[in-house]
Amino acid sequence: MSNEPIALRQALASFDALWSPRIVTRVNDYDVRVAQVEGEHVWHVHDDTDEFFLVLDGELHISLREPAGERTVRLPRGAVFTVPKGTEHKPYAPTRTAILLFEPTGTSSVGDRHERIPAHVDATTGHTLES
């Protein structure tokens, strides 16, 4: 990890793979990741951790399966949302969208339990950001 400031716009411009988060820095035992997304992810759940989303550019929708039923939250640019641990969810971006994620180091991008992983979704614990 760099001990210099990181420009998120430049970090996002350094790769073009969708649904393939890059680790920009770490805070204690947490990764700060950026990703470019478009289309559907996969229904999944993180059994032991919340998942924080910040929309840097574009719009993200997150469908949630909760005890009261299924709902979708819409996150425009600048919005944040935390999916509580144990909540099944599926992110979707109608157009190319840039997001920032904050989650414990080693957390899988497809959760602990998930549906079939489509080819366009990278099952990873985050890739190192290339300088």
Per-residue confidence band for 117, with pLDDT thresholds at 50, 70 and 90: confident
- How many angstroms separate the CA atoms of 70 and 63, rounded? 7
pLDDT of residue 56: 98
- How many angstroms separate the CA atoms of 16 and 20, rounded? 9
**70-107 per-position pLDDT tens digit:** 999 999 999 999 999 999 999 999 999 999 999 999 98
pLDDT of residue 121: 80
Nearest to residue 46, comparing CAs of 130, 118, 102, 8? 102
SS3 120: coil
* CATH fourth-level superfamily of 8-128: Jelly Rolls (2.60.120.10)
Q: Where are the domains of the chain?
A: 8-128
